Structure 1
Amino acid sequence: MNQLFPIFVKLDQIQTLLVGGGKVALEKFQALITNDERLNLTVVAREIVPEFEILLRNYPHIQLHIRPFETTDIEHKQLVIAATNNMELNDELRALTSLHNILFNAADKPDLCDFYLGSIVTKGNLKVAISTNGKSPTIAKRVKELLNDLLPAEIDETLSLMSEYREQLKGDFEFKVKKLNEHTKNILRHER
C-alpha cells in the first residue's frame, strides 16, 4: 500500500545538503535546480565529476566543498540527500538525520529514505509529481513522458484565467469552491 504523502517544498526557504559528487549526485542536483534555481544548497563531496563541477559554476550561490563529509555539515539543514556508493556513510547520514529530525533521502536506497524524489511534469504553473513508492523510477519516468504529451501547452494560460476568476468571486470558501468546480468540471475531458 502506498502511504506516501506528497508535498511541494519551497527549496529557496529551506537548507538542503547534497552529499556526493558523482553522476548520481549530478542527477539529483539537476532535479533540484530544475525545480528552483534559487534553492539553498550545499554540496559536499570527496571528489566531483567534471561536468558537475562545470555546471555548478553557473550557480555561484550554491556552496561546494570538495572534502569528506563532516558531521557539522548537517547543521541548519532541513533536507539531506546522499548520492554516494559508500554504504557506511549513507548509514551514518541516516543516523545523524534521524537524531536531528532532518528529512533524508539516499539515492537507490528506499529503505533509508524519509522521502523520495519523484518524476516531475511541469507545464508553467502546473506541476505534477509522480511516485512509484520507490519501486521503479523507470515507470515513473514513463508516466512523466505520457503526462507531458497529454497535458495541453495552454494549461498555464487556463491556470492564469482561473486565478483571475477566483479573485473576482465573492462569497465564502464553500461558495467559491462550488463555483470553481462548476467552471472546471469539463476542462480536461476528451471526446471519446
Structure 2
Amino acid sequence: MNTLFPIFVKIENLNTLVVGGGYVGLEKLTALLSNAPDAPVTLVAPEIRDEIRELAQQHPNLTLIQERYQAEYLQGRDLVIVGTNDKAVNRQVQQDCKARQLLVNVADTPDLCDFYLSSVVKKGDLKVAISTNGKSPTFAKRFREVLEEILPDSLQETLDNLTAIRNQLKGDFVQKMEKLNEITKVLR
C-alpha cells in the first residue's frame, strides 16, 4: 500500500542542499530548477560536472561548493537531496539530516528517504505528480510521457477561464464549490 502523502512545496521559499555533482546531482538539480528557476539551492561535491557549472551561470541563486560534504553544510537548510555514488557519504548525510530533523531524499535508496521526487507532468499551471512509492522511477517517467502526450496544450486556457469564473461567483464557500463542481462535471 502506498502511504505517501503528496504535497507541492514552494521550493523557492526553501533553502535546499544538493549533495553530489555528478549525473544524479545534475538530474536532481535540473528537476528543482525547472520547477522553480529562482529557488535558492546550494550544491556541494568534490567534483562538479560542467553542465552543473553552466546551470550556475544561468541561475544566480545556485551556489556551488567544490568540496567534500561536511555536516556544517546542513546549517540553515530546509530540504536535502543526496545523489552521490558513495554509499557511505549518502548514509552519513541521511544520519546528519535525521539528527537535525531535516527531510532528506537519497537517490536510488528508498529506505533512506523521507520523501521521493516525483515524475511531473506540466501543462501551464497544471502539474501532476506521479509516484510509484519508490518502486519504479522508470515507470513513473514513462507514464509521465503518456500523460504529456494526451493532455492538450489548451489546458491553460481552461484553467484561466475557471479562475475567472471562480472570482466572479457569489455566495459562501459551499455554494461556490457546488457551482464549480457543476461546471467541471464535463471533465469526467
- Aligning the two structures, in what range does the TM-score lie when normalised by the shorter sequence? over 0.9
Question: Where does residue 79 of structure 1 map in the other structure?
Answer: 79
Question: Residue 64 of structure 2: SS of its match in structure 1?
Answer: strand
1:134 positional shift: 0.4
Higher share in helix: 2
Question: Residue 31 of structure 2: SS of its match in structure 1?
Answer: helix
Which consecutive unaligned segments of at least 5 residues does structure 1 have?
none
Identity %: 48
1:137 positional shift: 0.7
TM-score normalized by structure 2? 0.97
The question of whether the paired residues in 2 share the 8 Å contact of 1:11 and 1:38 is answered with no
1:61 positional shift: 2.0
State which drifts further: 50-59 or 135-144. 50-59
1:21 positional shift: 0.3
1:100 positional shift: 1.0
The question of whether the paired residues in 2 share the 8 Å contact of 1:19 and 1:25 is answered with yes
Question: Residue 85 of structure 1: SS of its match in structure 2?
Answer: coil
The question of whether the paired residues in 2 share the 8 Å contact of 1:79 and 1:103 is answered with yes
Question: Where does residue 99 of structure 1 map in the other structure?
Answer: 99
Taking only aligned residues, the RMSD between alpha carbons, in angstroms, comes to 0.9
Question: Where does residue 49 of structure 2 map in the other structure?
Answer: 49
State which drifts further: 171-180 or 56-65. 56-65
What is the CA deviation profile of residues 77-96 of structure 1, one whole-angstrom value per residue up to 9, with x for unaligned ones?
11100010111111111111
1:60 positional shift: 2.2
Which consecutive unaligned segments of at least 5 residues does structure 2 have?
none
Question: Where does residue 112 of structure 1 map in the other structure?
Answer: 112
Question: Where does residue 14 of structure 2 map in the other structure?
Answer: 14
What is the CA deviation profile of residues 41-73 of structure 1, one whole-angstrom value per residue up to 9, with x for unaligned ones?
000010112222222221122111001112110
Paired letter, 1:86:
D
Question: Residue 12 of structure 1: SS of its match in structure 2?
Answer: helix
1:14 positional shift: 0.7
Question: Residue 13 of structure 2: SS of its match in structure 1?
Answer: coil
What does residue range 80-159 of structure 1 map to in structure 2 within 5 Å?
A: 80-159=80-159
1:2 positional shift: 0.2
- Distance, in Å, in 1 between the alignment partners of 2:40 and 2:56 is 13
- Distance, in Å, in 2 between the alignment partners of 1:38 and 1:49 is 21
Question: Where does residue 27 of structure 1 map in the other structure?
Answer: 27
What is the CA deviation profile of residues 105-124 of structure 1, one whole-angstrom value per residue up to 9, with x for unaligned ones?
01111110000111000000
Question: Where does residue 2 of structure 2 map in the other structure?
Answer: 2
Question: Where does residue 171 of structure 2 map in the other structure?
Answer: 171
TM-score normalized by structure 1? 0.95
The question of whether the paired residues in 2 share the 8 Å contact of 1:103 and 1:115 is answered with yes
